[in-house]
Chain A
Amino acid sequence: MSAEREQEMLELTAAYALGALSPEEMRAFESWLATSPAGQREVAEYREVGALMALDAGASPGAAASPDLRQRVIERATSQKARSLPASKVRTGSLVWIGLAASLVAVAGLGLQQRALRQQLAVQTTSIAALEATIATREARLATREAELNSILDPNVQLTRMGTPGSREPVVQLFWNRRSNLVLIHAFQLTPAVATRAYQLWFIPKHGNPIPSVTFNTEADGHGLVQQIKVPEGMELTAAAITEEPAGGSPQPTTTPFLVGTLSAS
């Protein structure tokens, strides 16, 4: 990355920490952030500034929270398993009441019969259920994305690139967290393997045969992501490689690796 581009990204750190980037800017920024320790430090520091800005929100005297809020907080948090509350409880709960209130007002105003009220409530309930499902899906995606980002932002992570970034050829980025000894791989521009085949990751030790790891496949757009891959311990690894194998994987490579990346010793 050019120095100019690096500076351009660094100048976005404050806005990123505030969540003020456009979706396009955010994608580009997060891609850069994953490989920039300096950027990660800046973002962490601006998030601390954000936490302090919260104090400014309460700088003036005014309405206080209900005295029983503390108890309700504890009850809500600790009863989650028993009640199986969805993550979107706040919004969905409010939406339910908004929906019901809107239905009741509409029905009363128009003087509809009880049957009409039931029908309208049914419509609202259906609509709310659809909204709840959408929210839950998006929150699940968000949680997944956050976990992915966290796993590559760790300062102990070492990046190995397999392939030629910037070309149209397949590329796999391997993020190795030295502390947890776990790997995350991100593939792109990699055509999905056919149904009976899969891609397989290999760790190449200094001495001995390649060590088989996970098998995976990519989406139709050529992207793929695999997390929490355990790195073999007790040996010096010199490289990682990707081959195409029968679905389910092989104990030893049956094809020539088409992507190889060097793993540094530390």
Chain B
Amino acid sequence: MPSLSVSVAHPVPWNPSLPRPMTDTLASNAPSRDADLVLQVARGDERALGLLYDRFGPVLYAVALRITGEKADAEEVVMAAFAQAWREAPRFDTTRGSAAAWLTMMARSRALDLVRSRTRRARMTDSATQNDSSQAPAMSQGPRTPGSALEEDERRAAIAAAMNSLSVPQRQALQMAYYDGLSQSEIAEKLREPLGTIKTRMRLGMQKLRDALRPYYFEGAT
């Protein structure tokens, strides 16, 4: 939609809504909620940004590495994603999803942009169809409390099981969309399959993942 030149004929004072109060603070020993950390980041708290990195940095790096295939690029993507989070934290809205989903979307989007800009799509498609995760990083970076580590391990096992429960064609289509940023039409073209088949495959695959993973959503998810 195009933007417009706007003037207010008779301006009315308005009061932007203030951030809601914190339910806990970073000074406490208890782990802060993800959304609260984002609120702290919105207030310019570097320590909160560090804690967000500890929680999600390795995951974002893993996604970025899987998409870009290069360590230096993946690190650039992670830095850019957190820089974007730092800028946009004041606009983070918990009613639209979890901090994890918010951060993952930013990192994935930047990684895909990077790959597209270098026209390396063909190579990345091959890597996705081969389901090669040998370059994926370890996920044990950053400090983890025993409770959170257990929860994270359980969550990781659940996603692995859910992915393995998909048929190979379903998994392949989802991975080509997720890691290569391909549209359904592009996937259909590359796999030489009817578009309708790919659409059905992706929809059913995502429904299956959703049904299996609902108990494991990140905190703050609606």
Contact = CB atoms under 8 A, between A and B. Distances in A.
Contacts of B122: none
A45 interface: yes
Given A52-B216, A55-B59, A61 B75 contact: no
B53 A218 contact: no
Contact of A230 (B9, B14, B53): B14
B57 A49 contact: no
A52 B213 contact: yes
A45 B222 CA distance: 7
Interface string B71-101: 1011111111011111100010101111011
A226 B221 CA distance: 30
B155 A55 contact: yes
A94 B73 CA distance: 8
**Interface-centre pick from A90, A144, A214, A248 (highest chain B CB count, 10 A):** A90
A266 interface: no
Contacts of B5: 216-217
A48 B61 contact: no
B1 A223 contact: yes
Q: Please report whether the interface of chain B is mostly helix, strand, loop or mixed according to DSSP.
A: helix
B193 interface: no
B96 A91 contact: no
**Interface-centre pick from A18, A93, A186 (highest chain B CB count, 10 A):** A18
Interface residues of A, number: 85
Interface in B121-172: 133-139, 141-142, 155-156, 158-160, 163
B50 to A, nearest CB: 6
B189 to A, nearest CB: 12
Interface string A12-35: 001101111110000000000000
Contacts of A55: 59, 62, 139, 155-156, 159
A225 B6 CA distance: 9
Nearest to B207: A14
A54 interface: yes
Contacts of B16: 180
B21 interface: no
A55 B152 CA distance: 9
Contacts of A198: 7
Interface string A83-104: 0010101110111001000000
B137 A65 contact: yes
A249 B1 contact: no
Contacts of A15: 177, 184, 199, 202-203, 206
A225 B163 contact: no
Contact of A53 (B58, B109, B178): B178
A106 interface: no
B32 to A, nearest CB: 17
Contacts of A85: 83
A69 B78 contact: yes
Contact of B9 (A44, A50, A250): A250
Contacts of B71: 63, 65-66
B39 to A, nearest CB: 16
Contact of B1 (A52, A61, A145): A145
Interface string A231-246: 0100000000000000
B23 interface: no
Given A52-B213, A73-B79, A11 B203 contact: yes
Given A65-B75, A214-B7, 15 more contacts: A14-B205, A14-B210, A19-B177, A45-B221, A48-B98, A50-B178, A51-B100, A52-B218, A56-B156, A69-B57, A73-B82, A74-B49, A213-B9, A224-B4, A251-B10
22 contacts: A11-B199, A19-B177, A19-B181, A22-B183, A45-B222, A52-B159, A55-B62, A57-B66, A58-B66, A62-B138, A65-B57, A65-B58, A65-B141, A66-B75, A72-B75, A72-B79, A74-B46, A76-B79, A76-B82, A78-B46, A94-B117, A198-B7
